Amino acid sequence: MLKFNQNNRRRIIGTLATVLVWQCASLTIRPNCLAQELGTQSLKEAGKTAEERKLDQLFEDYYQQYLILFPLEATNFGDSRYNDQLQLSISADFLAKEQDFYQQTLQRLGAIDLDQVSDTPHLMAEILQYELETRLAKFPFRFERIPFQQFDGLPLTFAQLGSGASSQPFKTAKDYDNWLKRVDAFVAWCQVAISRFREGIAEDYVLPRVLVEKMVAQMLDKTIVTDDPTQSLFYQPIDKLPDSISPAERTRLTAAYRRAIEVQLIPAYQGLGEFLRDEYLPHARQSTGILALEGGREQYQYWVGNWTTTKLTPEEIFELGEQEVARITTEMEQVKQQMRYGDQSLAEFFEFLRSDPQFKPFQSPEEVLDFFRGLQVKLEPALAREFLKKPKTPFEIRRTEAFREKTASAEYMPGSADGSRPGIFYCPIPDAKQYNITSGMESLFLHEALPGHHYQVSLQQENQQLPKFARFLWYGAYGEGWALYCESMGEELGLYTDPRQKIGALGDEMHRAIRLVVDVGMHWKGWTREQALDYMMAHEPISKDGAVAEIERYMAYTAQALSYKIGQLTIRQLRRSCEQRLGDDFSLPAFHDQVLRNGCMPLSLLERRLQAWDGSRE
């Protein structure tokens, strides 16, 4: 899963593509480079219609105002202008401002004659219109009454940023001061969050109890709420103060960070945790899905459309999920026979895979990481054959930070197009000796790392032919669908030759198919958490703890889990359609280029473009 939070759903897709000065090899050639670039831009502008120039200006205005509204996203995009700011994004004033911004932009877009606009900007206009309409549709539901949950939200993101392990820079004294200003704003945000939670209590719009219990533990985690501020994860940037910062500044910043941790951050997190434990938890609901909430069906239909970018109904998705579960079950039976365990039922086989020591060969976290590093080396020649373009953004493999490792899934954190921050594949390894080799390690890497999220995200943000807003858009059905499609390419890329990895890959695909069933089951059909757990455990080789974490994720992160399989099936169908239509003119690298060349977009627009593709490499 690509690492995001809900307000940034279209979102933390890395850092701004390199600005003009980075395009020049050195300061000595910068003037010539600049003149050449400006001359090229002038030629481009001269060939544009008046409507295209209006559209360019609208794209730029939208992007710049968006960064002002969402400064955390600006930081993640690599724009440092707002690194000291943090908006009260759940306050009434902010929400009114946000809604007005979308409405005004949509009105401006509607005034432009798109018949006078060429293909790529026309597509970008369609994407922006879809984006604005989708964002506006959320406001009547008042989702701010649940400001965060155990899987996603500002308190978790803020801890990751403040640890120095994410996109918040800690290189200069100004960087350190910027973070202290964000701390001030975060403390205020926490107070607004508590008031929003209280609104939810008053209106019986609350989270399930089992999720709130997890949130209490997160907020009161000893790496955050500690008697010794130097042991706080927020102190880590001080432990890594750059040598370039003067001794006097080091002394000042050290004192300031100790004070901020003691006086602001520890009380803020402790206050959230104690509020959730003492006031919110008694009012939390016993029900599982949002069907239990007022307007729950309408909300679920919104989230289904938002995450799948389709018109599919919950019932259609549920049926599709059941069909995929049946198909993958048949393939699992075949691999079971190949592994010579044909006399066992699948349930017995899954238990064997989960529990037998032979499938837990790792002794240390480093051994797990080395396995993934070996996959990277093995994949690189195959990727050169199957793709026309390779990302310039560097790539790294890291273990997930300790403070979130127990509840985290493996994920990809986008890098920066200028190379200053790599794309990172994070792998949680809470206990290496329990890490199961049949868990789908090869398919996981294809999805989260190469070519999955790293290729898609990096090529998108590096593409300076796209307007800035489009370089950093995210649609789950496209992005997660692409990553799951990459899993399905394992054999083409030389993987899955070991049946332990093949059964793991099928387990991963089954996992996404099950999501179609259990997500709709909980949020639309009224399934309990236990029913969803039983269904998952019966159909895939997953541990009980793993199943609990997944089901509770779907309870909190409504319909997001649908995006993977819907996107993958769409891209697979588009590939088959192009292969049949183009025959000998079909090129797989060219197809991949067509899918990736314009970045994230709703599936309906992707389908239209691929159906019109003539097979050229352009």
153 lies in the same domain as 277: yes
Selection from 323, 380, 291 nearest residue 559 by Cα: 291
3-class DSSP state of 577 = helix
Q: pTM for this one?
A: 0.88
94 lies in the same domain as 163: no
Residue 530 identity (one-letter amino acid): E
158 lies in the same domain as 280: yes
119 lies in the same domain as 201: no
Residue 564 lies in a domain: no
Predicted pLDDT of residue 343: 85
Tokens 């042991």 — which residue? 231
Selection from 459, 446, 444 nearest residue 378 by Cα: 446
> CA-CA distance, 108 to 103, in Å (whole number)?
9
| Contact in structure between 70 and 87 (CB atoms under 8 Å) | yes
Rounded (10°) CA dihedral 276, 221, 160, 141? -10
Of the three residues 284, 301, 326, the one that is the final residue of a domain is 284
224 lies in the same domain as 104: no
Tokens 């059941």 — which residue? 322
Predicted pLDDT of residue 2: 67
Helix (H) or strand (E) holding 77: helix 71-77
Contacts of 316 (CB under 8 A, 6+ apart): none
Length of the chain: 618
Residue 173 lies in a domain: yes
Predicted pLDDT of residue 46: 60
136 lies in the same domain as 93: yes
Residue 255 lies in a domain: yes
Residue 257 lies in a domain: yes
Q: Where are the alpha helices (DSSP H) in 111-246?
A: 119-136, 154-162, 173-202, 209-219, 236-239
135 lies in the same domain as 77: yes
137 lies in the same domain as 154: no
Of the three residues 88, 120, 142, the one that is the final residue of a domain is 142
> CA-CA distance, 186 to 234, in Å (whole number)?
13
Buried-state track 269-308, b at ≥16 Cβ within 10 A, e below 16: bebbbebbbeebbebbbebbbbbebeebeebbebbbbbbb
The total number of structural domains that make up the chain? 2
127 lies in the same domain as 170: no
Q: How far is CA 190 from the centre of its chain?
A: 23
Structural domain range at position 132: 50-142
Sheet holding 395-399, edge to edge: 395-399, 423-427, 411-413
Residue 393 lies in a domain: no
Predicted pLDDT of residue 410: 92
Of the three residues 255, 284, 313, the one that is the final residue of a domain is 284
Tokens 């940034």 — which residue? 8
- DSSP for 256-283? HHHHHIIIIIHHHHHHHHHHIIIIIGGG
Residue 557 lies in a domain: no
Find residue 395's DSSP bridge partners: 423
pLDDT < 50 stretches in the chain: 4-40, 43
Burial label, 376 (beta-carbon count in 10 A; 0-12, 13-18, 19+): middle
Residue 118 lies in a domain: yes
| Contact in structure between 494 and 480 (CB atoms under 8 Å) | no
Helix (H) or strand (E) holding 500: helix 499-523
| Contact in structure between 98 and 66 (CB atoms under 8 Å) | no
> CA-CA distance, 435 to 437, in Å (whole number)?
7
155 lies in the same domain as 278: yes
Q: What share of the chain is helix, strand, coil (3-state, %, to 5)?
A: 65, 5, 30
3-class DSSP state of 4 = coil
Residue 77 lies in a domain: yes
154 lies in the same domain as 271: yes
277 lies in the same domain as 178: yes
